[in-house]
């Protein structure tokens, strides 16, 4: 890449690595290399916060192992060669449509990984690929992550994207379960400097209670930490609900249906039962219920530890049931709904799941997706509708999905695979073609998804900081061309009606025209600003959004009401403070009743499972995960300053368990799904009876040099894809029964 610049220069950009959306101030040298990264002090939301991952963005960006051009694998020799884009797309256009022609659309599976939630390409152009493939075999990291929260929100509020977040900056009491934002910086709760916000909560006299089988850094910061047996959060929360009813502490401030059904359901799930299952004393559960009811404002927040568990959806439902019963839903200081600035999908019908089922296990669809826990089944089980080819975009399911070893084998048996990814890794090594996105700095950034889950209304847009060079392609264009190729179309036939335009422009023009038409503004195309059609789409979404200058009735009450468009964001490169969260009910409800449906039939039906488990024996030893400050799922282990030290793949175990089992050094960990051998790290910070292994490791065969030197083991060899949270189909990573022996 050669272009002339003044050197060095300072540029602003949002960090794309996690949900905290921190503003960054980058210094680039005359070769466009990042020489320093600082937190952007003038960002009104992140106020200069920076974590170790953001700080090493330059190393990630300059990684010599990052793929810089399309690659094709020779199936006979296994050798990779770098090719021109046209050759890569030609191979796809020739191979993939032949498979669908012979076996139908279901023969191709699509997996969308986590970074799609962070990129403009993922937000605006992945849907195009979904449509082009027309397959029901659509999978994503969502069913290894937050699907329980989305199903629960869909049932309660009618829309799975209407997810309440704790009003962190104003709450007086935060009950947090299964989250460790001091290391993760938060999830489904966009809050840059989450640690600082928690400290501020305590400083203003608020109370933080953390429920976790590990004494995490977050737990150490809290007023109170409760060790909880993995997978038992639903009992614990039911114990709180039971107490709220039993002690007449219920104050409902929003319109709801089903209050009596919830009361009836909670009758059998007493604090005593909760104590027996969770290990938290019944008196403590009762006291927490009273504290939540008595606090001027309070919020319950539960994340990955509780989502990726056997009763994930029930747990997420109970979280918001408590927020409702304590009068804290949709009120300042409670659990509130953010107002994203960009126009989102407007849902007309109430959400439901199970509109279709997966072929092999009949698992219900949710949000149009099937559970990733059944992806290996769909590839391996012969018959009509079997997956024979895969497309993956920004995902590494061999390391991130349950029963990873099974999936690894399944991918190896595919007839054809395409991956859009920065790296040759454990998943993409099975691809025939890899299409890499350009450098992070060459992509625009707007958080279409995450700003809908922010604890403060905010917007920020970053233009690409470095132009694309010869032979480089934006990820938006990669996806647009891939969508054409999988349908067997040549780029020039993108649209007969718009001849001479590149595929990306064609797609954007169609979307823009459709959106304008729906808004009754077909004549205003010429007013949209932006250097390309991607920016013009953002401009349109901002103008029509809740703060937008074209909003018919701006809902949001900030000073920016009726003003936003792309130019305003460009004029405010540090981001815009759109004000504190505001009450949004009943406006955002999409239930048929236009009330909060507090007792959805799907949740009441799932109680049978919870009841049955209450009688089951507790396994002697169970596995949970953990996140590490200097990791990001599977893909930052090739960044030298991030690996090593505390950032290693070790099994945390209580010293009493290690002694009882006569273990030290290495141990063999065995589950129903598989076996790994891993180094033990005894610590008092974990409950007896629980061991913890971080996910995303297992780079033993990697061609990434640094990652291979810090390989670790794949935690998902141990997790079992035959288990799911039934209502959402979500994978179960926590509470996996294991046995340990000496290595």
Which residues sit at the interface with Mo ion, rule CB under 5 A?
Answer: 145
Q: How far is the CB of 140 from ligand MGD (least distance, A)?
A: 8
DSSP secondary structure code for residue 524 in this structure: G
Using rule CB under 6 A, residue 175 touches ligand SF4: no
Query: Using CB distances below 5 to 8 A depending on partner kind, what does residue 425 bind out of ligand SF4, Mo ion, ligand MGD, none?
Result: ligand MGD
The answer to whether residues 216 and 184 touch, using CB atoms and an 8 Å cutoff, is no
Using rule CB under 6 A, residue 26 touches ligand SF4: no
Answer for which of 136, 149, 225, 626 binds ligand MGD (CB under 6 A) is: 626
Query: Using CB distances below 5 to 8 A depending on partner kind, what does residue 474 bind out of ligand MGD, ligand SF4, Mo ion, none?
Result: none
- Site map 285..304 versus ligand MGD, x via CB under 6 A: ------------------xx
Q: How far is the CB of 580 from ligand SF4 (least distance, A)?
A: 21
> Which residue's CB is nearer to ligand MGD, number 119 or number 728?
119
Cα–Cα nearest to 447, from 13, 68, 227, 119: 119
Using rule CB under 6 A, residue 46 touches ligand MGD: no
Using rule CB under 6 A, residue 50 touches ligand SF4: yes
Q: How far is the CB of 248 from ligand MGD (least distance, A)?
A: 28
Using rule CB under 6 A, residue 51 touches ligand SF4: yes
Residue 12 pairs in a beta bridge with: 25
The C-alpha atoms of residue 64 and residue 675 are separated, in whole angstroms, by 33
For 418, the token pair is: 């395409």
Answer for which of 633, 638, 671, 702 binds ligand MGD (CB under 6 A) is: 633
- Site map 192..211 versus ligand SF4, x via CB under 6 A: x-------------------
DSSP character string of 220-254: HHSSEEE---TT-HHHHHHHHHHHHHHTT-----S
The C-alpha atoms of residue 299 and residue 313 are separated, in whole angstroms, by 18
Cα–Cα nearest to 647, from 664, 632, 629: 629
Cα atoms in the Cβ-side hemisphere of radius 13 Å centred on 49: 19
Query: Using CB distances below 5 to 8 A depending on partner kind, what does residue 17 bind out of ligand SF4, Mo ion, ligand MGD, none?
Result: ligand SF4
Using rule CB under 6 A, residue 422 touches ligand SF4: no
The answer to whether residues 26 and 55 touch, using CB atoms and an 8 Å cutoff, is no
Task: Quickly tell me which residue has 């945390």 as its tokens.
Answer: 652
Query: Using CB distances below 5 to 8 A depending on partner kind, what does residue 166 bind out of ligand SF4, Mo ion, ligand MGD, none?
Result: none
Answer for which of 177, 298, 603, 651 binds ligand MGD (CB under 6 A) is: 177
Scanning 147-155, 228-236, 460-468, 642-650 for contacts with ligand MGD by CB under 6 A, the matching segment is 228-236
Q: Are strands 416-420 and 389-393 parallel, antiparallel or unpaired?
A: parallel
* Nearest-CB residue for ligand MGD: 305
Task: Count how many residues are written for the chain.
Answer: 743
C-alpha distances in angstroms, 598 versus 159, 199, 265, 604? 14, 33, 11, 10
The C-alpha atoms of residue 253 and residue 330 are separated, in whole angstroms, by 9
The C-alpha atoms of residue 140 and residue 337 are separated, in whole angstroms, by 24
Q: How far is the CB of 442 from ligand MGD (least distance, A)?
A: 10
Torsion angle, CA of 31/33/36/40, rounded to 10 degrees?
100
The answer to whether residues 285 and 274 touch, using CB atoms and an 8 Å cutoff, is yes
Q: How far is the CB of 270 from ligand SF4 (least distance, A)?
A: 40
DSSP character string of 550-596: T-SS----STTTTTB-HHHHHH-TT-EE--S----TTTT--STTSSE
Scanning 181-189, 379-387, 447-455, 515-523 for contacts with ligand MGD by CB under 6 A, the matching segment is 181-189
C-alpha distances in angstroms, 513 versus 539, 540, 554? 13, 10, 22
Using rule CB under 6 A, residue 150 touches ligand MGD: no
Contacts of 628 (CB under 8 A, 6+ apart): 183, 646, 647, 694
For 538, the token pair is: 């953002």
The answer to whether residues 140 and 369 touch, using CB atoms and an 8 Å cutoff, is yes
Query: Using CB distances below 5 to 8 A depending on partner kind, what does residue 214 bind out of Mo ion, ligand SF4, ligand MGD, none?
Result: ligand MGD
Scanning 48-56, 230-238, 354-362, 502-510 for contacts with ligand SF4 by CB under 6 A, the matching segment is 48-56
Query: Using CB distances below 5 to 8 A depending on partner kind, what does residue 733 bind out of ligand SF4, Mo ion, ligand MGD, none?
Result: ligand MGD
The answer to whether residues 440 and 16 touch, using CB atoms and an 8 Å cutoff, is yes
- Residue 709: Cβ-neighbour burial (10 angstroms; 0-12, 13-18, 19+): middle
Answer for which of 624, 658, 663, 732 binds ligand MGD (CB under 6 A) is: 624
Answer for which of 154, 279, 334, 625 binds ligand MGD (CB under 6 A) is: 625
Using rule CB under 6 A, residue 108 touches ligand SF4: no
> Which residue's CB is nearer to ligand SF4, number 193 or number 606?
193
Using rule CB under 6 A, residue 155 touches ligand SF4: no
The C-alpha atoms of residue 97 and residue 713 are separated, in whole angstroms, by 37
Answer for which of 12, 13, 18, 107 binds ligand SF4 (CB under 6 A) is: 18
* Nearest-CB residue for ligand SF4: 54
Size of the site for ligand MGD (CB under 6 A): 64
SS3 category, 676: strand
Residue 740 CA, chain-centre distance (Å), reads 31
SS3 category, 730: strand
Cα–Cα nearest to 53, from 17, 14, 19: 17
Show contacts with ligand SF4 in window 487-526 (CB under 6 A): none
Scanning 39-47, 123-131, 673-681, 729-737 for contacts with ligand MGD by CB under 6 A, the matching segment is 729-737
- Site map 384..403 versus ligand MGD, x via CB under 6 A: ---------xxxxx--x---
The C-alpha atoms of residue 137 and residue 628 are separated, in whole angstroms, by 32
Strands of 182-279 (E only): list them: 207-211, 224-226, 256-257
Using rule CB under 6 A, residue 154 touches ligand MGD: no
Residues that bind ligand MGD (CB under 6 A): 18, 113-115, 119, 141, 144-145, 177-181, 183-185, 187, 211-214, 216, 228, 230-231, 233, 303-306, 308-309, 393-397, 400, 420-423, 425, 437, 475, 624-629, 631-635, 695-696, 715-716, 719, 733-735
Residues that bind ligand SF4 (CB under 6 A): 15, 17-18, 20-22, 50-51, 53-54, 185, 192
């Amino acid at each position: 890449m050669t272009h002339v610049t003044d050197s060095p220069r300072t540029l602003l950009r949002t960090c794309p690595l996690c949900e905290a959306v921190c503003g960054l101030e980058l210094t680039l040298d005359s070769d466009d290399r990042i020489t320093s990264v600082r937190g952007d002090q003038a960002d009104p939301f992140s106020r200069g916060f920076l974590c170790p991952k953001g700080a090493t963005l330059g190393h990630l960006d300059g990684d010599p192992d990052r793929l810089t051009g399309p690659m094709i694998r020779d199936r006979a020799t296994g050798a990779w060669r770098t090719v021109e884009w046209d050759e890569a797309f030609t191979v796809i256009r020739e191979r993939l449509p032949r498979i669908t022609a012979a076996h139908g659309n279901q023969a191709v599976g699509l997996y969308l990984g986590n970074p799609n939630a962070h990129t403009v390409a993922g937000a605006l152009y992945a849907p195009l690929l979904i449509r082009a493939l027309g397959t029901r075999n659509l999978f994503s990291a969502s069913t290894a992550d937050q699907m329980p929260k989305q199903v629960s929100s869909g049932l309660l509020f009618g829309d799975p994207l209407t997810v309440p977040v704790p009003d962190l900056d104003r709450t007086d009491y935060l009950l947090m379960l299964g989250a460790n934002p001091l290391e993760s910086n938060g999830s489904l709760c966009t809050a840059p400097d989450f640690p600082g916000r928690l400290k501020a909560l305590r400083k203003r006299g608020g109370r933080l209670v953390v429920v976790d089988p590990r004494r995490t850094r977050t737990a150490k910061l809290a007023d109170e930490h409760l060790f909880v047996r993995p997978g038992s959060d639903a009992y614990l929360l039911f114990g709180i609900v039971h107490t709220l009813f039993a002690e007449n502490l219920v104050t409902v401030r929003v319109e709801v249906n089903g209050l009596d059904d919830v009361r009836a359901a909670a009758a059998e799930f007493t604090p005593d039962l909760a104590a027996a299952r969770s290990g938290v004393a019944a008196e403590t559960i009762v006291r927490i219920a009273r504290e939540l009811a008595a606090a001027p404002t309070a919020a319950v927040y539960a994340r990955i530890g509780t989502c990726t568990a056997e009763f994930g959806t029930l747990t997420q439902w109970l979280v918001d049931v408590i927020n409702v019963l304590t009068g804290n839903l949709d009120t300042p200081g409670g659990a509130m709904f953010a107002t994203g600035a960009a126009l989102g999908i407007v849902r007309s019908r109430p959400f439901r799941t199970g509109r279709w089922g997966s072929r092999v296990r009949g698992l219900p669809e949710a949000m149009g997706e099937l559970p990733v826990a059944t992806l290996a089944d769909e590839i391996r089980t012969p018959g009509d509708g079997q997956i024979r080819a895969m497309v993956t975009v920004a995902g590494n399911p061999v390391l991130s999905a349950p029963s990873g070893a099974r999936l690894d084998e399944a991918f190896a048996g595919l007839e054809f695979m395409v991956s859009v990814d920065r790296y040759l890794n454990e998943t993409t090594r099975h691809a025939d073609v890899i299409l890499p996105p350009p450098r992070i700095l060459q992509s625009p950034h707007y958080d279409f998804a995450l700003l809908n889950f922010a604890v403060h209304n905010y917007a920020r847009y970053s233009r690409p900081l470095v132009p694309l060079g010869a032979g480089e392609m934006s990820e938006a264009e990669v996806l647009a061309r891939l969508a054409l190729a999988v349908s067997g179309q040549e780029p020039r036939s993108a649209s007969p009606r718009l001849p001479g335009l590149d595929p990306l422009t064609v797609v954007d023009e169609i979307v823009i025209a459709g959106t304008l038409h729906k808004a009754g503004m077909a004549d205003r195309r010429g007013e949209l600003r932006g250097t390309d059609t991607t920016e013009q789409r953002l401009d349109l979404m901002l103008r029509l959004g809740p703060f937008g200058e074209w909003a018919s009735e701006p809902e949001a009450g900030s000073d920016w009401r009726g003003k936003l468009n792309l130019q305003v964001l460009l004029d405010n490169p540090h981001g815009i403070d759109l004000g504190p969260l505001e009450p949004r009910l009943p406006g955002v409800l999409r239930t048929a009743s236009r009330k909060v449906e507090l007792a959805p039939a799907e949740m009441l039906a799932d109680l049978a499972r919870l009841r049955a488990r209450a009688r089951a024996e507790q396994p002697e030893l169970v596995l949970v995960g953990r996140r590490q400050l200097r990791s990001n799922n599977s893909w930052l282990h090739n960044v030298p300053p991030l690996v090593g030290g505390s950032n290693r793949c070790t099994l945390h175990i209580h010293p009493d368990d290690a002694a009882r089992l006569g273990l030290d050094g290495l141990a063999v960990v065995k589950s129903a799904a598989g076996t790994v051998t891993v180094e033990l790290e005894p610590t008092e910070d974990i409950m007896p009876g629980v061991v913890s292994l971080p996910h995303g490791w297992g780079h033993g065969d990697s061609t990434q040099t640094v990652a291979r030197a810090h390989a670790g083991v794949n935690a998902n060899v141990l997790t079992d894809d035959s288990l799911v949270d039934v209502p959402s189909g979500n994978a179960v990573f926590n509470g996996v029964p294991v046995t340990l022996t000496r290595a």
